[in-house]
Amino acid sequence: MSSKGEGSAAWDAMVLVGRVARTHGIRGHVLVNAETDFVAERFQAGAQLWTRVDGREQSLRIVDARLEGRRPILAFDGYASLEAAEGLAGAELRVPEADLLPLPEGSYYLHQLVGCRVETTEGAPIGAVSRVDGGAGAAVLAVNGARGEVLVPLVHEMCVGIDVDARLIRVRLPEGLLELNEPSASKRDGPRRAKRGKEIQSGASRSRN
């Protein structure tokens, strides 16, 4: 278990992989709500995660791991008692983006879409992705532009070209979708804050046109 200085920008750049739900038993184990598509691979004995306690980043080395369905039950080095583990309840578990598992060609993590420009297949600009709501299979892009916030379902029929390297998403939207999503004047107070990225990949491989 080690720590970094307060306020490290590295914490904000890390990717969320789970949250500690509660303690489990009396020997320092905790039950985790996973936020990753790679539960078994991510939560293994010997793996290193990061959390934040009292404003300081702290590394956690897993010394014991098992699954209860899709929920990991973990023990960390230095947390051998119920009392010690209680201090982790509610804590986020993150990893550096460089530690994300590689994906097949044409696939991507949902958080990688944040910041991408969005335009129609005819080249008309719509805005930029401010966040991705939902998970794989039911994800929605929140796109902020001149019309305010536009919600675009992340489905192949609408998002016909996604090029993460070029930071560009090309969309073919049904007639009326832009007008339907246009917010009222009372809601134009600026974009909502982007959510922390998760280790969630796209539901299926997509075109990289």
Share of the chain above pLDDT 70, in %: 81
Tell the burial category of 195 from Cβ atoms under 10 Å away from its Cβ (0-12, 13-18, 19+). middle
Distance separating alpha carbons of residues 160 and 139, to the nearest angstrom: 15
pLDDT tens digits, 164-206: 999 999 999 988 877 776 655 444 455 454 455 677 666 543 3
* Dihedral sign computed on CA atoms, order 36, 42, 44, 48: negative
CB 173 within 8 A of CB 154: no
pLDDT tens digits, 34-67: 999 899 999 999 999 999 988 889 999 999 999 9
Q: Identify residue 82 by its one-letter amino acid code.
A: L
Task: Give the DSSP letter string of 44-105.
Answer: -TT-EEEEEETTEEEEEEEEEEEEETTEEEEEETT--SHHHHHTTTT-EEEE-GGGSPP--T
* Domains within the chain, CATH numbers bracketed: 3-99 (2.40.30.60), 110-187 (2.30.30.240)
| 3-state SS assignment for residue 12 | helix
Distance separating alpha carbons of residues 47 and 109, to the nearest angstrom: 21
Residue 181, H or E segment: helix 177-181
What's residue 186's pLDDT?
44
Q: Identify residue 14 by its one-letter amino acid code.
A: M
What's residue 135's pLDDT?
72
Average model confidence (pLDDT) across the chain: 86
What's residue 176's pLDDT?
80
From residue 76, alpha-carbon distances to 37, 121, 209 in Å are: 21, 50, 44
